[in-house]
């Protein structure tokens, strides 16, 4: 079996996430406690108890998902379960870089916390929104964004699976693109509840603050390839990680291409390492023949052990 780990990003959070891991596994407890000593907010209280409105704030969401993914990764590593490659959706790329051995947990957590803070601030200073368009080819969505951008900014943000693209930009730009998508007979057009126009030029302010931290972070060459959001191709080198993590803040996530490229390179099993099962759902739509197992709760671990 050629196994790959994939790590989810924002949108996979839920109140109560990680609480069962914390209560049942001493290593997970130590990880959450260590993370909270680094952060300047009560991570466990927000993740375990909410309220949901607080957890949904980007500055809290991103560290909560990252730490949850790292707790699951630790469980896998302690049992000798190792991937041949990794990838992560947006925020999840930071988890993937840690899993590949290119950055220590503590340093990555500091970057994730800074990224969440800067993206939330950027969203407040440069208001925008996002929307999911389902049932149109990628090229048609690109064309719609180009047309709508003649009056207000909107760009493709996530190419998630066949016929599922998320767009991002100013409120006027996204709303205009949504109108055009409906005119082109999209199966579904839904505005998302987000605190900013992620993966669009409206995040440029956040990039300015993040660049210096990425330049200072102690990246090393990875042990296994990380398929990156920006190119959907595998990278190994420390400097490539810095470059890719800078570019991904303003660039679209090429998730469908990432999954296809990993399969083409020999991956025949995915584990989604983190809360929820969003990426397994996308994986099934991209290539149903390649199984994806969600691993985020203690019952998921039991199912894995039973299958092994």
Report whether 93 contacts 111 (CB < 8 A). Answer: no
pLDDT for the residue 120: 96
Is the pLDDT reported for residue 129 higher than 70? Answer: yes
For the chain, how many residues are written?
308
**Three-state SS letters, the chain:** CCEEEEECCCCCCCCCCCHHHHHHCHHHHHHHHHHHHHCCCCHHHHHHHCCHHHHCCHHHHHHHHHHHHHHHHHHHHHCCCCCCEEEECCCHHHHHHHHCCCCCHHHHHHHHHHHHHHHHHHHHHCCCEEEEEECCCHHHHHHHHHHHCCCCCEEEEEEEECCEEEEEECHHHHHHHHHHHHHCCCCEEEEECCCCCCCCHHHHHHHHHHHHHHHHCCCCCCCCCEECCCCCCEECCHHHHHHHHHHCCCCCECHHHHHHHHHHCCCCEEEEECCCCHHHHHHHHHCCCCCEEEECCHHHHHHHHHHC
Domains, in order of start, for the chain? 3-124+201-307 (3.40.366.10), 128-192 (3.30.70.250)
Is the pLDDT reported for residue 301 higher than 90? Answer: no
Report whether 160 contacts 256 (CB < 8 A). Answer: yes
Average pLDDT score over residue span 137-161: 97
- pLDDT band with cut points at 50, 70 and 90 for residue 305: confident
Is the pLDDT reported for residue 226 higher than 90? Answer: yes
Question: What is the value of pTM for the model shown?
Answer: 0.96
Question: Would you name the residues annotated as active-site residues?
Answer: 90, 199
Is the pLDDT reported for residue 268 higher than 80? Answer: yes
Is the pLDDT reported for residue 304 higher than 90? Answer: no
Is the pLDDT reported for residue 1 higher than 80? Answer: no
Average pLDDT score over residue span 116-132: 96
pLDDT for the residue 24: 95
Average pLDDT score over residue span 291-305: 90
Say which range, 16-25, 178-187, 220-229, 296-305, has the weakest mean pLDDT. Answer: 296-305
Could you tell me which of 164, 120, 119, 123 has the C-alpha nearest to residue 140? 164
Average pLDDT score over residue span 37-57: 96
- pLDDT band with cut points at 50, 70 and 90 for residue 110: very high
pLDDT for the residue 6: 98
- pLDDT band with cut points at 50, 70 and 90 for residue 230: very high
Is the pLDDT reported for residue 308 higher than 70? Answer: no
CA distance 238 to 35: 24
Is the pLDDT reported for residue 100 higher than 70? Answer: yes
Is the pLDDT reported for residue 307 higher than 70? Answer: no
């Amino acid at each position: 079996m050629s196994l790959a780990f994939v790590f989810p990003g924002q949108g996979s959070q839920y109140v109560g996430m990680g609480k069962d891991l914390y209560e049942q596994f001493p290593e997970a407890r130590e990880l959450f406690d260590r993370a909270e000593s680094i952060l300047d907010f009560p991570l466990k209280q927000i993740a375990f108890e909410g309220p949901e409105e607080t957890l949904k704030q980007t500055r809290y969401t991103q560290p909560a998902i990252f730490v949850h993914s790292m707790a699951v990764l630790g469980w896998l590593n302690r049992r000798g379960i190792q991937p041949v490659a990794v990838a992560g959706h947006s925020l999840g790329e930071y988890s993937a870089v840690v899993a590949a051995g290119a950055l220590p947990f503590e340093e990555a957590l500091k970057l994730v916390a800074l990224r969440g803070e800067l993206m939330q601030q950027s969203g407040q200073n440069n208001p925008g929104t996002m929307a999911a368009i389902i049932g149109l080819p990628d090229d048609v969505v690109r064309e719609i964004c180009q047309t709508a951008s003649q009056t207000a900014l909107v760009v493709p943000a996530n190419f998630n699976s066949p016929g599922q693209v998320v767009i991002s930009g100013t409120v006027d730009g996204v709303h205009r693109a949504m109108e055009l998508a409906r005119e082109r007979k999209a199966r579904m057009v839904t505005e998302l509840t987000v605190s900013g126009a992620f993966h669009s030029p409206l995040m440029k302010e956040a990039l300015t603050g993040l660049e210096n931290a990425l330049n200072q972070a102690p990246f090393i060459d990875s042990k296994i390839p990380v398929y990156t959001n920006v190119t959907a191709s595998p990278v190994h080198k420390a400097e490539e990680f810095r470059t890719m993590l800078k570019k991904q803040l303003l660039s679209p996530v090429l998730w469908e291409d990432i999954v296809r490229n990993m399969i083409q390179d020999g991956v025949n099993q995915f584990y989604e390492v983190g809360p929820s099962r969003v990426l397994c759902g996308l994986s099934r739509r991209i290539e149903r023949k390649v199984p994806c197992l969600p691993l985020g709760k203690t019952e998921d671990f039991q199912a894995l052990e039973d299958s092994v």
